[in-house]
Structure 1
Amino acid sequence: MRKSIFSLGKSCCFIILNLLLSSSFACAQSGQKWVSYEPAQGPGNGKHIVLISGDEEYRSEEALPMLAKILSNHHGFKTTVLFAIDPKTGEINPDYQGNIPGLESLQSADLMVIFTRFRELPDEQMKYIDAYIKSGKPIVGMRTATHAFSYDENKNSPYAKYSFDSKSKGWEDGFGRQVLGETWIDHHGHHAHEGTRALIDGIMQRKGHPILNGVKDIWVPTDVYGTRELTGDPEVLVWGQPTHGMTAESAVNWEKSVMPIAWTKEYTSESGKTARVFTTTMGASVDLKSEDLRRLMVNACYWALEMEDQIPEKSKVDIVGKYTPTMFGFGEHKKGMRPADFVVQQ
């Protein structure tokens, strides 16, 4: 009995200590406009990944903290997640297109993961993205990153060339086309009516491409984006086929052609430095309920960082804590959320 009481006391102390540490960590970040996750032991120790959210439709503000926790807790990367913040309230508001605090963290980043849509950021923020792209460091783009920026007001900005519809020489169609491989074209699938069945590229699979390790079954409720011929000599890893319906059991729509939905390429900046780039047009918060899509994203981060030799046969991608993603749609983001709400890791 005495031993049982002692064990119970130890357990209670451990629980209380964890709660105090989590509470202290939350208090430390409560005034911040972004969130950081310290790494557990893992291959990623010593590497810093900055994940930039900011889209009105696909809930990147929910998707990226979840992905960041996986990268930190299971793989040892330090991660920082940035958000679109309403400066008047300090709340996360993806409809506010002109403010993503914390972009200076890109100065210490080894990898940038970007999931923004039609942002027009002030020059004093955008300069950090511009400097990062010129650095030759790797980039991972998700879903609306193909049309990450849109310059309608400050067309004389030195960064207006990043706009998805840019006409600047050498920067036609902006960041999406020039860096990631494609800009916004259209919804190839019937938006909000057709999902996407992912078709793993058999040639890349037989070649043993490390990003495809353990990736076999992906279905997501977002539709297939249309593309043209991708730029930059890409390798398509996954093709997308629209499905008749919004469930994983929905039959594929064979009347529509396949489109590339995940690819790799290289980008050489004006500084002459070359970066590894991975892009997927999947990635909404509800998409990431797919275990193998999470695995694809984690593997892509390893590959982008030239750590492909350390990608496991089946990367651990268990969700850390609770994850109840909001269905995509305009005006559907959770109101009143602050970065501190995403702090607790366990």
Structure 2
Amino acid sequence: MRQLVMICLLVFSCLSVRSQEWITFGGEEGANKNQKHIVLISGDEEYRSEESMPMLAKILAKRHGYKCTVLFAIDPETGNINPEVNNNIPGLDLLENADLMIINTRWRRLPDDQMKYIDQYLRSGKPVLGLRTSNHGFNNKEGNYIHYSSEYKKENPEHPWYRGFGGLLFGDHYVRHHGKHKHESTRGVFPETAVNHAILKGIDDGEIWGPTDVYGCRVAHLPITPLVMGQVLERKGTFNINDRFFGMRSTDLPLAGPKNNPMLPVAWLKAYQHPDNGKEGIAFHTSMGSSTDLENQGLRRLVVNTVYFLLDRRIPKKGTNVAYVGEYYTTAYGFLGKEFWDNRKLKPSHLY
């Protein structure tokens, strides 16, 4: 009997420690048994997904009734959140029972025993919502999932895994900074073909703005449904490294010249299908999505409206409620280095 008690305590202890590697909002005891579960995967060194993903999860859980679990890049030696550790995101097995995956990773090199859950999810054909660097979310160099790398078959656009995860899901991956990085921000403009799309409900044309620049992409080859085009803006103020917007503002004017002629898409829908007998699914991608971008109400509404759309839920006429739940503090995007994260000692539990 004593041995059984010890085993139970050990199992409980392991589960408790493991659950501290991610955070969950919603899904309390007594919740609707049909409640949808969203898994949000952070893990990028530059655009502060460890800030934005908990904020979105709180909104989706509190305002819209979803169960939301946020995963992080975790240093296995300390248990701290550390985006510079690119080979460990605990909790990906939770995708087995997820209804939607929201992902904002950058060049992760995850082991096969973690990658397999992402692969299984894609085979199911369930929806995917990708932010900013998710179009180059993996950089696998070994193992069974090298084809997820953003460099995979880069010379063969006809290959189903061309450009890896980003190519399969979103049609392409990051090509270049089209707008000048940290100097030319982005305003979202609706193409005529999308002005009546349900995902844009409650968002004004031109309302979306963010201090990240427009990403370059191979427009002519993208089998997509464009929803928002990225107008490159010229900063009229002074560059300020200490400002989280680097001196850029939503009131900046469009940049003259070829960068806006034509404008490139910054948000779109695309059908996808895992080449290995996977079911057909649908993916949404926006190349915006830094934590500071998501201070913009229009962009937050674009994301939450898309969650409704991907989960077959009617979007309200005036769009979804995207008011913050609690405070939302953001940091200017940029690379902070492993030492910064080692010193910060940020745990997932600190982000509730």
Tell me the TM-score normalised to structure 1 length.
Answer: 0.85
- Alignment match of 1:340 (pick from 326, 331, 349): 349
In 1, the alpha carbon distance for the partners of 2:20 and 2:85 equals: 18
In structure 2, what is the equivalent of residue 9 of structure 1?
none
From the superposition, tell whether residues 33 and 56 of structure 1 become closer, same or farther in structure 2 (CA, over 3 Å).
same
Q: Once superposed, what is the RMSD of the aligned Cα atoms?
A: 2.2
From the superposition, tell whether residues 30 and 268 of structure 1 become closer, same or farther in structure 2 (CA, over 3 Å).
closer
| Residues 1:327 and 2:317 aligned together | no
In 2, the alpha carbon distance for the partners of 1:33 and 1:55 equals: 16
- Runs of 5+ unmatched residues, structure 2: 1-15, 236-247
Q: Is the 8 A contact 1:42 1:77 kept in 2?
A: no
| Residues 1:123 and 2:112 aligned together | yes
Cα-to-partner distance string for 1:55-103 (whole Å, 9 max, x where unaligned)? 0000001000000000000000000000000011100000100000000
In 1, the alpha carbon distance for the partners of 2:17 and 2:179 equals: 41
In structure 1, what is the equivalent of residue 89 of structure 2?
100
Opposite residue 123 of structure 1, the aligned amino acid is D
In structure 1, what is the equivalent of residue 253 of structure 2?
251
In 2, the alpha carbon distance for the partners of 1:42 and 1:311 equals: 23
How far is 1:170 from its partner?
A: 2.8
Q: Is the 8 A contact 2:130 2:284 kept in 1?
A: yes
Opposite residue 122 of structure 2, the aligned amino acid is I
How far is 1:151 from its partner?
A: 2.0
Q: Look up the SS of the partner of 1:243 in the other structure.
A: strand
- Alignment match of 1:179 (pick from 169, 173, 179): 169
In 2, the alpha carbon distance for the partners of 1:215 and 1:190 equals: 26
Cα-to-partner distance string for 1:225-283 (whole Å, 9 max, x where unaligned)? 00103766311000001111211111111321211000011112232411111000001
In structure 1, what is the equivalent of residue 55 of structure 2?
66
Q: Look up the SS of the partner of 2:78 in the other structure.
A: coil
Q: Look up the SS of the partner of 2:254 in the other structure.
A: coil
From the superposition, tell whether residues 267 and 230 of structure 1 become closer, same or farther in structure 2 (CA, over 3 Å).
farther
Opposite residue 279 of structure 1, the aligned amino acid is H
Equivalent residue runs for 1:142-161 within 5 Å: 142-152=131-141, 154=142, 157-161=143-147
Q: Is the 8 A contact 2:219 2:264 kept in 1?
A: no
- Alignment match of 1:279 (pick from 274, 285, 302): 285
In 2, the alpha carbon distance for the partners of 1:287 and 1:43 equals: 33
How far is 1:44 from its partner?
A: 11
Cα-to-partner distance string for 1:124-164 (whole Å, 9 max, x where unaligned)? 00000000011110000000001000123x2xx22110000
Q: Is the 8 A contact 1:142 1:281 kept in 2?
A: yes
In structure 2, what is the equivalent of residue 266 of structure 1?
271
Q: Is the 8 A contact 2:42 2:73 kept in 1?
A: yes
How far is 1:336 from its partner?
A: 1.5
Opposite residue 188 of structure 1, the aligned amino acid is H
Q: Look up the SS of the partner of 1:261 in the other structure.
A: strand
In structure 2, what is the equivalent of residue 291 of structure 1?
297
In 2, the alpha carbon distance for the partners of 1:42 and 1:298 equals: 21
Q: Is the 8 A contact 1:138 1:304 kept in 2?
A: yes
Q: Tell me the matched-pair count.
A: 310
Q: Is the 8 A contact 1:200 1:237 kept in 2?
A: yes
Q: Is the 8 A contact 2:177 2:215 kept in 1?
A: yes
Q: Look up the SS of the partner of 2:187 in the other structure.
A: strand
Equivalent residue runs for 1:76-91 within 5 Å: 76-91=65-80
In structure 2, what is the equivalent of residue 56 of structure 1?
45
- Alignment match of 2:226 (pick from 230, 236, 244): 236
Q: Look up the SS of the partner of 1:265 in the other structure.
A: strand
How far is 1:39 from its partner?
A: 5.0
Q: Is the 8 A contact 2:133 2:287 kept in 1?
A: yes
In 1, the alpha carbon distance for the partners of 2:127 and 2:173 equals: 19
In 2, the alpha carbon distance for the partners of 1:223 and 1:101 equals: 31
In structure 1, what is the equivalent of residue 149 of structure 2?
163
Identity among equivalent positions (%) equals 45
Q: Look up the SS of the partner of 1:283 in the other structure.
A: coil
Q: Is the 8 A contact 2:305 2:319 kept in 1?
A: no
Q: Is the 8 A contact 1:147 1:183 kept in 2?
A: yes
In 1, the alpha carbon distance for the partners of 2:269 and 2:316 equals: 16
In 2, the alpha carbon distance for the partners of 1:272 and 1:74 equals: 33
In 1, the alpha carbon distance for the partners of 2:187 and 2:219 equals: 21
- Runs of 5+ unmatched residues, structure 1: 1-27
Opposite residue 120 of structure 1, the aligned amino acid is R
